[in-house]
Amino acid sequence: MCGIQDNLGVTVDGNSVTAVYSAAQEAVERARSGEGPTLLECKTYRIEPHCGIIADQRKPGEREAWQKKDPIIRFRSKLISDKIITDVEIRKIEESVDAELKEAVDYANQSPYPDPNDLQHMSWQR
């Protein structure tokens, strides 16, 4: 087992940004103080079906119920209600991110395919 009993596992609400952040902070502090690693099990829900070609087997309303727990939407609401940021500021951030993503996608689409001979280039090997 080689010391596995000394490791710590923590289960956290993966849909809560603050809960995940807090658990991660504690894990980092624990590791830095020499107490070993921490396994964070962040419980969440996959909103989209597992595979686009397989019919979704969820109960009616299940997806919609989980969408209300979306961590981004919940954290956005918290930031606004706590007056940390305004809706206008969030929209500016979203527009900036959208522009950056569009630029990256355009760059990728306009770039040539990589040379198959470079497949192993810069790959880690023993």
Q: How confident is the model over 50-86, as pLDDT tens digits?
A: 776 777 788 889 889 999 999 999 999 999 999 999 9
Comparing 7 with 33, which gets the higher pLDDT? Answer: 33
pTM for the structure as a whole: 0.69
Write down the mean pLDDT value for the chain: 89
DSSP state of 115: P
Q: Could you list the residue range(s) of the whole structural domain that residue 15 is in?
A: 8-69
Residue 53, helix vs strand vs coil: coil
> Is 13 in a helix, a strand, or coil?
strand
> Are residue 38 and residue 63 in the same domain, yes or no?
yes
* Rounded to 5°, angle at Cα 44 from 43 and 47: 160
Would you call 39 helix, strand, or coil by DSSP?
A: strand
87-110 vs 71-81: helix crossing angle, rounded to 10:
140
d(CA 31, CA 33): 5
39 and 50 assigned to the same domain: yes
Number of domains observed in the structure of the chain: 2
Tell me, yes or no, whether 1 lies in a domain. Answer: no
**Arithmetic mean of pLDDT, 29-41:** 95
Confidence of residue 44 (pLDDT cuts 50, 70, 90): very high
Q: For 23-33, how does the pLDDT look when each residue is reduced to its tens digit (9 = 90+)?
A: 999 999 999 99
With 50 as the cut, is the pLDDT of residue 1 above it?
no
Q: Does a structural domain hold residue 101?
A: yes
Residue 12 neighbours by CB distance under 10 Å: 19
